[in-house]
Structure 1
Amino acid sequence: MTTKLEDKHAGNGDLVGEGQPYLGEKYQTNGKPVANGRGEISVKQEANGKCGVPRKSLNMYSWQEIQKHNQKADQWLVINRKVYDVTGWANKHPGGSRVLNHYAGEDATDVFRAMHLDLDIVKLYLKPLLIGELAPEEPSQERHKSSQLVEDFRELRRTLEAMNMFKVNPVFFFLHFAQIMILETLAWLIVWHFGSGWPVTIFISFLLTISQVQCFLLQHDLGHISVFPKSKWSRLMQKFMMSHLKGLSTCWWNHRHFQHHVKTNIYPKDPDINTGPLFVNGYLKPVQNGKKKISYINYEKQHLCFYMGESLEPLSLSYRVLEFAWVSSFYIHYFIMFGPFYGIFGTILLIFLVKFLESPWVAYVTQMSHVPMRISKEENRDWLSAQVLATCNVEQSFFNDWFTGHLNFQIEHHLFPTMPCHNYHKVAPLVRSLCAKHGLQYVNKPLLKAFGDITR
């Protein structure tokens, strides 16, 4: 179903709410926005025809038509009832092309709002992709979704925004970062003062393990939020934490992690559960492997080595020279710090020992909230239901918050990825109340039970 609709102002295809400024941008032939010096013009002015913006004719589409465009070579998204053709843009998407493809042919309003920090920037790239909107008789979401549940969730988000729950406290992250630097410095001072004997080596390995884990947990938050006024400084901080202090590629991490967030526990779209051939998670993959008689290890014993395989995955080195340099700087700074005491071979062994101690900690913290939960094929659920079914929390305490880096509030983190972690405990009661209203089970476990559920 494709008919024509007269759009009274060209600015109605953006994703900010009514009353937000329209930038009146122009576009080059390649679709990129360029500055034109017009300044900000309100939507109201445009609607009254004061800006001289020509009326734009948009197609109207049914959900039946939109859902046909769900292939890699033909990708449409619906956001706030607007239809966008993102096929040509997908390979330029900063979060990776797969993230867009995972939502092709679906309503992506809530996931779009959840994953983007600055809508004013993103809308510049969306405008040239606008091809139409939903027909007036079509619901705002696919027909199988509960419109009341979706609206209640969006109202919750508006409430949290009014409460400034998405506002970052830089002091919190500075103290977290200071903890990491103090641990690394203390490890070096101990070796410098007491020598490199085995007792000292084991002790500093524990200090460096704590530093590595806390570094991983901190950069996890930095990958989602903007601590500094300009997001590029937050990205630089994430590279420093993830690549220089941790030794992993931020591009590799972000592209995998964004897929995990948008399609949590959906096989094969979530790379965190697509861990074959070494491990098979949930009920779908084991059955599939069993029918095909595929067996790489004794899967009945996979829990014995699961934590090692999860954390010591092969490092995916980026083809970018700068990314490779960032990752290499991790090993360089370790050799500079500990090479004079242990030599080259001894420093390599120290790094391996730290990674060996770190692996079960990271694996259990990152997997406790997802592996025991529902793992399924694509079901195209609403944002709230999809995240609550695939995610669980761990009870709050000072130790649990520190030990998990606030990943014990995974439900809140997955619903609002751009919210700073120090606010999760404040919004948890509101999320729990909304789940109860719509009959969704809000799972909150003790820490040891969450760890045990991974093995079970």
Structure 2
Amino acid sequence: MVLREQEHEPFYIKIDGKWCQIDDAVLKAHPGGSAITTYKNMDATTVFHTFHTGSKEAYRWLTELKQKCPTQEPVIPDIKEDPIKGIDDVNMGTFNISEERSAQINKNFDSLRMKVRAEGLMNGSPLFYIRKILETIVTILFAFYLQYHTYYLPSAILMGVAWQQLGWLIHEFAHHQLFKNRYYNDLASYFVGNFLQGFSSGGWKEQHNVHHAATNVVGRDGDLDLVPFYATVAEHLNNYSQDSWIMILFRWQHVHWAFMLPFLRLSWLLQSIIFVSQMPNHYYDYYRNTAHYEQIGLSLHWAWSLGQLYFLPDWSTRIMFFFVSHLVGGFLLAHVVTFNHYSVEKFALSSNIMSNYACLQIMTTRNMRPGRFIDWLWGGLNYQIEHHLFPTMPRHNLNAVMPLVKEFAATNGLPYMVDDYFTGFWLEIQQFRNIADVAAKLTKKIA
């Protein structure tokens, strides 16, 4: 899910009460890629400070940008949408918080953000991340050992576990959770991502940062766009004729959804190759400048990964090993990353929910109940609400901040959604079934 259309037209964003113009030169130079476009012509104050905690480079960049702000407030066009009642409102939430209450929630979240930072919860532990990296390397080496002793199936399953655990590490370094210096985080992400995992660090950032900035907002969050295989909102059905075979897929999407989860890793591997091959000609300076790091890392990954397959005894074993390892890794990744957001309501851009960062993240995210094993298996993403509120917070501090977030939600009258796995998975299936029912009604009209 790292490939998406780019928007390059000039626009404005508002930070700390000042409207800043984002022209072509500024946009190209943005190190975070297209994440900045999600707040086009909107107030991005809270999301800016949340995403760039501790980044001297980001605040220096902002200072220079403010010096060029227009003296007159720009004319910002209204966001208008005309949903079809009974169809376009399926799976869609409403944001009915008044401006006064929203302003108070924003103020309260700023206080929480300052408190969390003062308590040192944004500081990463080098020992923790060294241990996690060594865990994955030892897991891979043990898989090699089992392969050498002809235990091919257990070796393949163990490789799948390693793929999943490496997925959490590239996610954390791409969020700059350990080092205060972006460059060091990037180097670590190339090692655990491109080299060990086969995933593009830049491709992950390009998609994932947009998702964080506009979580479950239709038309902004690329993770909602699963067409032509799945439709997460009824709006996606409008792109296809009612008698097309794709509409048949949509009618049964709640049935075949679970069977497609294991293929997530293969999809990301392919899209990583495509993304990295296009990086030298990318629109954003950052991706062009880091292309050689990613290309070398990805090439080395496939060199050792294909070498591992080469030493298997025959083609049937190679094929088995390849698909078992990647499908196990894909399922272990997918059952986590789909639980947190596909099980909750989505929001229209016109709902104005993006004006309140805390509300956006809390109302579009579900936690999985924590536990020692779950914390390890899910890589801390069972604390997804906490992670979305503080994306640069290291994994090992998410459990510590959870009571503060619960208190914040209760004090401000906001939901705090946390469920066991099967409850959350059933709610996820129900969301897909809601759209499947709409697709079935539309296709029946022409039957």
So what's the TM-score if we normalise by structure 1? 0.76
- Provide the residue aligned with 2:46 in structure 1: 110
Specify the structure having the higher radius of gyration (Cα): 1
In the TM superposition, what whole-angstrom CA distance separates every residue of 1:374-395 from its partner, at most 9, and x where no partner exists? 1122133200111111101111
Q: Is the counterpart of residue 190 in structure 1 residue 164 in structure 2?
A: no
In the TM superposition, what whole-angstrom CA distance separates every residue of 1:298-335 from its partner, at most 9, and x where no partner exists? 22322323414544324242224522332222221123
- Provide the residue aligned with 1:234 in structure 2: 185
C-alpha spacing 1:394/1:108, structure 2 compared with 1 (3 Å):
same
- Provide the residue aligned with 2:303 in structure 1: 332
- Provide the residue aligned with 1:17 in structure 2: none
Q: Is the counterpart of residue 81 in structure 1 residue 17 in structure 2?
A: yes
The question of whether the paired residues in 1 share the 8 Å contact of 2:263 and 2:327 is answered with: no
| 2:321 counterpart SS class | helix
| 2:14 counterpart SS class | strand
Shift of 1:162: 0.9
| 1:341 counterpart SS class | coil
The question of whether the paired residues in 2 share the 8 Å contact of 1:167 and 1:419 is answered with: yes
Query: Which of 127, 132, 142 in structure 1 is aligned with 2:63?
Result: 127
Which amino acid is 1:324 matched to?
A: Q
The question of whether the paired residues in 1 share the 8 Å contact of 2:14 and 2:41 is answered with: yes
Structure 1 CA distance for aligned equivalents of residues 183 and 28 of structure 2: 21
The question of whether the paired residues in 1 share the 8 Å contact of 2:55 and 2:181 is answered with: no
Which amino acid is 2:102 matched to?
A: S
Q: Is the counterpart of residue 218 in structure 1 residue 169 in structure 2?
A: yes
The alignment yields a C-alpha RMSD, in angstroms, of: 2.4
Structure 2 CA distance for aligned equivalents of residues 309 and 204 of structure 1: 19
C-alpha spacing 1:339/1:162, structure 2 compared with 1 (3 Å):
same
Query: Which of 361, 372, 386 in structure 2 is aligned with 1:387?
Result: 361
| 2:311 counterpart SS class | helix
Structure 2 CA distance for aligned equivalents of residues 244 and 343 of structure 1: 26
Which amino acid is 2:342 matched to?
A: V
| 1:418 counterpart SS class | coil
Structure 2 CA distance for aligned equivalents of residues 225 and 272 of structure 1: 21
Shift of 1:434: 1.3
Shift of 1:347: 4.0
Structure 2 CA distance for aligned equivalents of residues 298 and 419 of structure 1: 39
In the TM superposition, what whole-angstrom CA distance separates every residue of 1:224-247 from its partner, at most 9, and x where no partner exists? 124245432221111111111111
In the TM superposition, what whole-angstrom CA distance separates every residue of 1:418-452 from its partner, at most 9, and x where no partner exists? 00011111111111111112221100111232233
- Provide the residue aligned with 1:307 in structure 2: 261
The question of whether the paired residues in 2 share the 8 Å contact of 1:365 and 1:404 is answered with: yes
Which amino acid is 1:85 matched to?
A: Q
The question of whether the paired residues in 2 share the 8 Å contact of 1:369 and 1:392 is answered with: yes
**How many residue pairs get matched?**
373
| 1:272 counterpart SS class | helix
- Provide the residue aligned with 1:20 in structure 2: none
C-alpha spacing 1:79/1:216, structure 2 compared with 1 (3 Å):
same
The question of whether the paired residues in 2 share the 8 Å contact of 1:279 and 1:306 is answered with: no
C-alpha spacing 1:79/1:342, structure 2 compared with 1 (3 Å):
farther
Report percent identity of matched pairs: 24
C-alpha spacing 1:267/1:291, structure 2 compared with 1 (3 Å):
farther
Q: Is the counterpart of residue 173 in structure 1 residue 129 in structure 2?
A: yes
Shift of 1:344: 7.4
Shift of 1:293: 5.5
Shift of 1:134: 8.8
Unaligned runs of at least 5 residues, structure 1: 1-70, 136-141
Shift of 1:126: 2.5
The question of whether the paired residues in 1 share the 8 Å contact of 2:146 and 2:152 is answered with: no
In the TM superposition, what whole-angstrom CA distance separates every residue of 1:257-276 from its partner, at most 9, and x where no partner exists? 01100000111211111111
C-alpha spacing 1:102/1:350, structure 2 compared with 1 (3 Å):
same
Structural mapping, 1:397-416, within 5 Å: 397-416=371-390
The question of whether the paired residues in 1 share the 8 Å contact of 2:177 and 2:393 is answered with: no
Q: Which structure shows the bigger proportion of residues in strand conformation?
A: 1
Structure 2 CA distance for aligned equivalents of residues 113 and 390 of structure 1: 20
| 1:216 counterpart SS class | helix
| 1:165 counterpart SS class | coil
- Provide the residue aligned with 1:267 in structure 2: 218
Considering Cα pairs closer than 8 Å and 6+ residues apart, tell me whether 1 or 2 has the greater RCO.
2
- Provide the residue aligned with 2:197 in structure 1: 246
Structure 2 CA distance for aligned equivalents of residues 361 and 153 of structure 1: 33
| 1:280 counterpart SS class | coil
| 2:199 counterpart SS class | coil
- Provide the residue aligned with 2:394 in structure 1: 420
Shift of 1:153: 0.5
Shift of 1:406: 0.6
Structure 1 CA distance for aligned equivalents of residues 100 and 8 of structure 2: 24
C-alpha spacing 1:174/1:401, structure 2 compared with 1 (3 Å):
same
Which amino acid is 1:80 matched to?
A: D
Unaligned runs of at least 5 residues, structure 2: 1-6, 74-97, 281-290, 431-447
The question of whether the paired residues in 2 share the 8 Å contact of 1:388 and 1:411 is answered with: yes
The question of whether the paired residues in 1 share the 8 Å contact of 2:13 and 2:41 is answered with: yes
C-alpha spacing 1:232/1:371, structure 2 compared with 1 (3 Å):
same
Which amino acid is 1:233 matched to?
A: Y
- Provide the residue aligned with 2:115 in structure 1: 159
- Provide the residue aligned with 2:104 in structure 1: 148
Structure 1 CA distance for aligned equivalents of residues 309 and 241 of structure 2: 51
Structure 1 CA distance for aligned equivalents of residues 59 and 228 of structure 2: 40
So what's the TM-score if we normalise by structure 2? 0.78
| 2:225 counterpart SS class | coil
Query: Which of 320, 333, 336 in structure 2 is aligned with 1:365?
Result: 336
Query: Which of 436, 443, 449 in structure 1 is aligned with 2:410?
Result: 436
Q: Is the counterpart of residue 93 in structure 1 residue 44 in structure 2?
A: no
Q: Which structure shows the bigger proportion of residues in helix conformation?
A: 2
C-alpha spacing 1:78/1:229, structure 2 compared with 1 (3 Å):
closer
| 2:11 counterpart SS class | strand
Structure 1 CA distance for aligned equivalents of residues 167 and 174 of structure 2: 11
Which amino acid is 1:374 matched to?
A: E
C-alpha spacing 1:424/1:269, structure 2 compared with 1 (3 Å):
same
Structure 2 CA distance for aligned equivalents of residues 151 and 276 of structure 1: 38
The question of whether the paired residues in 2 share the 8 Å contact of 1:81 and 1:134 is answered with: no
| 2:13 counterpart SS class | strand
The question of whether the paired residues in 2 share the 8 Å contact of 1:400 and 1:447 is answered with: no
- Provide the residue aligned with 1:455 in structure 2: 429
